[in-house]
Every structure is written in C-alpha cells, then in structure tokens.
C-alpha cells in the first residue's frame, strides 16, 4: 500500500476504480462526479443506492452496490458500513479528502442553505435536508453529522492504512481545495495521458 500526497505521481497502470473518502460536506460526490467525467464514465451517486423517499433505506441497496462494484470501471463515494470492505478491496485509488474539520462543516452549512434555496444538487429519493435553523433542535442535522463524522472517517482511513490488508491500494491524501485542484491538474491528468 502506498499513501501519496497531491503532487506524487500515480502508479503506471490505468486508473479504473476510484473511491472518494471524506466526512459529509468534504466534496466526495463532487470529486467522484468530476473523476467520472474525466474517465468517460457515467456517474452514479452512492446515495441513490441507499436513500428512498422519506429518508427510508432501499431494501436492495447492499446488493445493488455490490453489483455496481463488479463493473470494470467506476468512481464513487467511499460509504456504506456494510459494503465498505468490499468496496475497498475493489478500489485501486482511494482519494482521502482529509480537510480541516471547520472547513468541512462550513461547506456542509453552505450546501444546506443552497439546497434550501433550490440552487444546490438534489438529494436521492427526493429527500430534503432540515433547514439550517434546526441545527440546535435536530440531533441528526447534517451539519452536526458532518462535525461528528469527521473524526470517524479519519479513523477509518487510518485503520485501512494501519492494517495494510489491501497491498495494491493507493491512498491519495488531500487537505483543502487547493490540493484537490493540484492533484486533478497534475497526477490525475498525467495518469489519463498514459491510458
């Protein structure tokens, strides 16, 4: 296993399967969508497997995700406790959006406001996030979840690194949007040129 930074070159083999890790609001979906576009792949948001209307859980989500992971090429968010190990085993590159916690929470709040105003991206299942004003009364508010899950995500990625069970996995650790942009312009673009 190798852990790379934003300017380190990627392995020589063609990149076909990428997962993006990060807390809610870190930019997982945005980056996965960008990677799919650059790889010429259709984008499928992880939440579309999971969420049904009314924030209910689709009964076949695990099977659907596992079937998706059998495809030869994809980029998707590194989520889903029940499928994360299978996803990690199939992933070539795990992009870890390890942004500072306040930065991620601020992004989550901004995204929530945009969605409430009808300018953000739609949520799978036609679901709608709670208004920002319910932050103090809704224990499951997405902004609170972003704060709570930030260290959890960090610990999960560090565990993958420490266990080193996926020897061919490459983890790219990026902190801040400048590093994301530098990685996209540099190592990722260079890897596409080798295809």
State the helix-helix crossing angle for 142-163 and 101-116, rounded to 10 degrees.
140
In this predicted structure, what is the pLDDT of residue 173? 98
Helix (H) or strand (E) holding 75: strand 74-77
Average model confidence (pLDDT) for the chain? 90
Q: Residue 126 — pLDDT band, cuts 50, 70, 90?
A: low
pLDDT digits (tens, 9 = 90+) for 99-117: 999 999 999 888 877 776 6
User: Which carries the bigger pLDDT value, residue 127 or residue 34?
Assistant: 34
Confidence of residue 143 (pLDDT cuts 50, 70, 90): confident
Residue 124: pLDDT over 60? yes
Confidence band of 76 (pLDDT split at 50, 70, 90): very high
Q: How far apart are CA 118 and CA 126, in angstroms?
A: 13
Q: What is the mean pLDDT of residues 50-79?
A: 93
3-state secondary structure of 46: helix
Q: Please state the separation of Cα 97 from the chain's center in Å.
A: 8
Average pLDDT (83-98) is 97
Residue 189 has pLDDT above 90, yes or no: yes
Reduce the secondary structure of 1-15 to three states and give it as a string: CEEECCCCCCCCCCC
What pLDDT, on a 0 to 100 scale, did the predictor assign at position 33? 95
Nearest Cα residue to 76 out of 63, 57, 95: 95
Longest Cα–Cα distance of the chain, Å, equals 52
Q: For 3-17, what is the mean pLDDT?
A: 93
How much is the pLDDT for 195? 60
């Amino acid at each position: 296993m190798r852990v790379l930074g934003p300017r380190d070159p990627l392995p020589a083999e063609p990149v076909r399967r990428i997962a993006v890790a990060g807390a809610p609001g870190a930019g997982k979906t945005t980056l996965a969508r960008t990677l799919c576009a650059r790889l010429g792949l259709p984008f499928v948001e992880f939440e579309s497997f999971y969420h049904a209307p009314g924030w209910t859980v689709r009964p076949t989500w695990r099977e659907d995700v596992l079937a998706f992971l059998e495809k030869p090429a994809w980029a998707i968010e590194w989520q889903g406790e029940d499928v994360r190990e299978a996803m990690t085993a199939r992933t070539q590159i795990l992009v870890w959006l390890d942004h500072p916690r306040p930065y991620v929470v601020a992004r989550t709040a901004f995204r929530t406001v945009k969605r409430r105003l009808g300018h953000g991206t739609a949520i799978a299942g036609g679901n709608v996030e709670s208004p920002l004003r319910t932050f103090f009364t809704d224990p499951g508010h997405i902004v609170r979840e972003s704060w709570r899950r930030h260290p959890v995500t960090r610990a999960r990625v560090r565990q993958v690194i420490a266990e080193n069970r996926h020897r061919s996995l490459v983890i790219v650790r990026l902190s801040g949007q400048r590093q994301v942009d530098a990685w996209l312009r540099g190592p990722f673009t260079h890897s596409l040129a080798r295809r």
